Structure formats: C-alpha cells, structure tokens
Amino acid sequence: MALAFLPALARMAVCGGTHGNELSGVYVVQEMERQRKEKGADTWPIPITTLLSNPQAVKECRRYIDTDMNRCFNRATLSSPIADSSAYEVRCAQELNNLLGPKGSTDATDMICDLHNTTSNMGLTLIHYTSNDWVTLHICKYLQTKITKVPVRVLVLDFPISDAYNLESVSKHGFTIEVGPQPHGVVRADIYIVMKEAVDLTIDWIHKFNSGMVFEGGDVEAFKFIKSVDYPRDPETRSLTAAIHPQLQDKDFCLLKRGDPLFFTFSGETVKYEEDETLHPFFINEAAYYEKASCVKDDPGLVIEAGKEGRDAAPAVLWPLRLDRACTN
C-alpha cells in the first residue's frame, strides 16, 4: 500500500470554553496552564497555545453571550466588518482567526483541538468537518485504539472548508473532542479524565509522527451527518408535546430501525421511527439544541442528529502516514 508523506505538525492549540458552560475543556485548559507554569516551556514536545475561546461566557457559565461562538468561523462571518453592534462572539472569532489562522492560509496553526461537552450519552466523539484530512483521521484511529474507558467514535460533517463554521476549521488539521454525558455547568471527574486523556494522546501522536514513526493505514469507521430530527411540537405554540422515548434516551449511535420508539408523548403515546433507512442517532437530547429548533425556522432543529455509519463516506481506506522530512523546516 502506498505511503503518504506529510509535513510535521509544528504548532497546536487546545481551546476550552468555546461554549462557556461546557466545563471539562475549561478545566483541562486551566490544568495545562498550571503545568506550563510549573514545568516551563518544555512541558510538551511542540509549542501548544492553550486558551479559553469565549472568556466572558466562561465567566458567566453560559453557552454564549450574544451568539453561538461555534457557528462564527465560516468565511462570511470572519470577514464581516466589526461595528459597535457586532456580537461579542463575532469579535472573539475574528480575534481567534488572527491568532490561530488566518483560516485557509499557510500561516494557520497546524492543529486545533476544540474541547466540548454534551448532555447526550456520546462517550468520546471526535468531530471533524471533512473526510479528506489524513492527519486528523489517523489521530482519531490512534485514540480509538488507545482509549478503552469509553466508546470512541468519529463523526464527519462533510462541509467545504469555507462553509465550515466551527473553531477547528481555522487550523489545517482540527477536530472537536466532544465528551458526554455531562450536564452543562457541571464538571464530572470521569468525563474530565477522558477528555484529558484524549488531549494527551493527541499530543503523543503528534510527537511520534514528528519523530518519523510510520502509522499503518487501514479503515476508519466514521459516522456521517445525514439529518436532524425535531421533537413533535404543538403547531401553534411550538412547545414540545413529547420527550425522547425512554428506550431511545442514552442510546446514542445505536441502530434506529423502522418501528423503533422515538418519542413518548405527554399523553402516553409512543411515536415510532417511520423511515425505511436504518440510521444511527446521536446528540440525543442535547440541552443546547432545544433552542435551535424553536428559533430558526429553516433549520428544523438538532434534537437528535441522525447519522449514517459511512464506510462509503469517510475514506474507506486510510493510507499509512509518515512524516515528510523534506517539509520539516
């Protein structure tokens, strides 16, 4: 099998608090900064920038102040002129793009790990916007083999980079580390430990890769986003008329087949999944997505996001990867 040669990863950023109430990342970043103070510049094998993306939201322990930061990194928002009325998060996003980007340029940082939590039972999910990034996919594969405490899954959104609106799309090879279930505003030790391990192993992979190690190719099982499913709602008031069915609650990434229970209405009826296509739901009952369903009329809401296991979506074959020594300077 052919070997792909790629340049070393010279710079990395670990970002917490992109959503200010997703606390594991806030404390992982805090702990990394404490380690840097204690052990000095050589704490890690490559220079790592650690930061809180949305400091005001972190201070107030809220998802955001004016608008969701993690929707601000598409080209249109990054290049929009800043006025007094500009959203706090749009200003932050442009500052982050200056610091870690510019997005799409050769000056952009090599890797952004954006740390998130979810109230959904998603274990450790690595989210990336494209299926074409070998480096990110190899890191995902590495984490899948090394982490055994929780299931480790890969989710690919398949956006072209200019449309990708997440923070990690600013870097050349970025991804989101999403760990759940954890209520917003809470830090659970078991969830923190998983996230810290994921970050440490990512740094470990980069160190090994930069030292010339060959990473074997193979398959990466990835889930691809297909569509969102909203709650049943009252047509006039838009308020919910059902909750996620107890048999579906906490079953992220399970197989959802025709006839399986989806919702349990307040009047005691079961609403079933009626489509023919078997899918894998995720972000089941994520707190933050209730709002998106009610206020954005052309986005039906992300209460459950149904994904498809995509052997044909993400690269079915991942080429072995090795450092391209010619590009290390």
Partner 1 sequence: MSSRTIISCLQEAKRVAIFGGTHGNEMSGITLVNMWIQNSVEIERDGLVSKPFISNPRAVEKCTRYIDTDLNRAFTPENLSAPDVEGLPYEIQRAKEINRMFGPKGSSDAYDVIFDLHNTTSNMGSTLILESSTDFFNLQMVHYIKKAMAPHTCSVLLNEHPQLKYSTTRSVAKHPIGLEVGPQPQGVLRSNVFESMRTILKHALDFLELFNSGVEFPPCTVDVFRIQERMDYPRDTNGNITAMVHPHLQDCDWEPLNRGDPMFLTFDGRTILYEGANTVYPTFINEAAYYEKQQAFVTTCREILAANAIRKASNVFS
Residue window 220-259: x/- pattern of binding to partner 1, with contact defined by CB under 8 A: -------------------xx--xxxx--x----------
Identify the CA nearest to 28 among candidates 147, 153, 187, 202: 187
> From the CB of 144, what's the least distance to partner 1, in Å?
23
Which of 88, 159, 290, 319 forms a contact with partner 1 (CB under 8 A)? Answer: 290
> From the CB of 286, what's the least distance to partner 1, in Å?
8
**Is the distance from CB of 124 to CB of 146 less than 8 angstroms?**
no
Which CB, 168 or 305, lies closer to partner 1?
305
Our finding on whether 102 is near partner 1 (CB under 8 A) is no
Identify the CA nearest to 212 among candidates 73, 5, 53, 2: 5
The amino acid at residue 182 is Q
Q: How far is the C-alpha of 14 from the C-alpha of 324, rounded, in Å?
A: 24
Write out the two tokens for 80.
Answer: 């929009």
Judged by CB under 8 A, the chain residues 112 through 151 that form the site for partner 1 are 119
Which CB, 23 or 164, lies closer to partner 1?
23
Give the three-class secondary structure for 251. coil
Instruction: State yes or no: 22 annotated in a binding site.
Output: yes
Cis omega (within 30 of 0) for bond into 181? yes
The Cα-based distances of 306 to 225, 253, 302 in angstroms read 7, 9, 9
Active site residues: 178
Select the span of 31-39, 155-163, 272-280, 316-324 touching partner 1 (CB under 8 A): 31-39
Judged by CB under 8 A, the chain residues 259 through 288 that form the site for partner 1 are 264, 266, 285, 287-288
* Count of residues that interact with partner 1, criterion CB under 8 A: 34
Instruction: State yes or no: 116 annotated in a binding site.
Output: yes
> How many helices (H) and strands (E) in the chain?
7, 14
Judged by CB under 8 A, the chain residues 155 through 214 that form the site for partner 1 are 181-190, 192-193
Write out the two tokens for 137.
Answer: 């996919």
Identify the CA nearest to 310 among candidates 274, 284, 276, 279: 279
Site residues for partner 1 per CB under 8 A: 27, 30-31, 34-35, 61-62, 119, 181-190, 192-193, 239-240, 243-246, 249, 264, 266, 285, 287-288, 290-291
Binding residues for Zn(2+): 19, 22, 116
Binding residues: 19, 22, 116
